[in-house]
Structure 1
Amino acid sequence: MQSIGAAIQTLLLAAQDFKLGTLWICDIFHCDKEIYSWLNIKDELVAAVAIGYPNESPYPRPRKLLDKVVKWI
């Protein structure tokens, strides 16, 4: 499962380099049978990724400074 997460994260970062927007979708269980049918597979899906050209760029969310969330020992 961790390898799948790492692969998806790498895919998202690579797509961003190409100026593509992405959405990591983990809640696919309500439509999994339809997805299996489209892909003609019987394997278990754990996530999906939507990729496309974004038509908006939201402002970055505020972040705490690193020294406020990390304690170096």
Structure 2
Amino acid sequence: MELMDVIKARRSVRKYQDKPVEREKINACLEAARLAPSACNSQPWHYIVIDDPKVKEAFCKEAFSGVYAMTKFAEKAPVLIAAVSDKGSFTSRLGNFFRRTEFYLVDQGISGEHLVLRAQDLGLGTCWIGWLNSDKAEKFFHLPKGKKIEHLIALGYPAEEPAPRPRETLEHIVSYNEYK
């Protein structure tokens, strides 16, 4: 599939077939994520693949509890991928401080987008989930201090194709040589 076709076809999928995702496809998505660029080549990410149904069920009870229950749909995805942050190298953290930008989060976004685009290319659906109980999710995996689950990516074969969402026109979001 051509890159623009993949980009145009990618949607947030919230309904999945009850069909396991092959490890080869999961690894292909993770390989795409691994190749993403990052500030100072810090590669500030670690991915935890949750594809064992019993582990996923126990994890979802923690991650989607209380006010986070609105993202419970993700427990139906055959695979959840937890993106664990690492604040990056000293140089990139210094850049964070002076620019007041958390570059490790930008880097994770780039890596995650590589993952979801590769998934789309392989016929898989994804949904990026930021609404989760990170504290409970981190305790579930006994993450060391300083590590945080920033988001999850639900992954599986779509049960249906979501309708496209409206997008702004280029004229609305772009200006050249000045801000309009």
TM-score, normalising length: structure 2:
0.34
Count of aligned positions:
68
Runs of 5+ consecutive residues of structure 1 not aligned to the other structure = none
RMSD of aligned residue pairs (Cα, Å): 1.8
Q: What do residues 19-66 of structure 1 show as CA deviations (whole Å, max 9, x unaligned)?
A: 1100111122254133x1xxxx41421111110000111221222321
Give 1:25's match in structure 2, choosing from 119, 124, 129.
129
CA distance in 2, matches of 1:47, 1:64: 25
Query: What residue number does 1:15 align with?
Result: 119
Give 1:66's match in structure 2, choosing from 151, 158, 170.
170
TM-score, normalising length: structure 1:
0.74
Matched, 1:56 2:160: yes
CA distance in 2, matches of 1:64, 1:28: 28
For 1:30-49, list aligned pairs within 5 A.
31-32=136-137, 33-34=139-140, 36=141, 41-43=142-144, 44-49=148-153
Runs of 4+ in 1 over 3 A off after TM superposition: none
Runs of 5+ consecutive residues of structure 2 not aligned to the other structure = 1-104
Structure in which a larger fraction of residues adopt helix: 2
CA distance in 2, matches of 1:15, 1:27: 21
